[in-house]
């Protein structure tokens, strides 16, 4: 079994958030101040979540950067009539 966490930057702390939704319900959400810290936090959370059942053979992090919207007049495309 493999699980994949969605990784997003945390604007409030400057760190990162990792989230995995269990298809059976529930899931894991944890955060870290750095990638190394997040790696430790994910491993610890997975070990606790799967303490009484089969642990995943693979844990992946998929980076999901937030959408960036430009709303400055200088960045708007000029449309000619």
For residue range 4-50, list pLDDT tens digits in order. 999 998 888 889 999 999 999 999 999 999 989 999 999 999 999 99
For residue range 49-77, list pLDDT tens digits in order. 999 999 999 999 888 765 555 555 555 55
Q: For the chain, give every domain's residue range.
A: 2-66
Q: What is the pLDDT of residue 25?
A: 93
DSSP-derived secondary structure for 11-22: TTTSSEEEEEE-
- Using a cut of 0.85, tell me whether the model's pTM lies above it: no
């Amino acid at each position: 079994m493999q699980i994949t966490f969605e990784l997003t930057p945390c604007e409030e702390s400057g760190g990162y958030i990792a989230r995995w939704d269990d298809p059976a319900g529930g899931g894991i959400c944890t955060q870290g101040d750095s990638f190394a810290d997040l790696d430790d936090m994910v491993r610890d959370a997975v070990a606790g979540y799967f303490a009484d059942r089969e642990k995943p053979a693979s844990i992946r992090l998929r980076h999901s950067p937030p959408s960036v919207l430009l709303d400055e007049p200088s960045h708007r495309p000029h449309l000619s009539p």
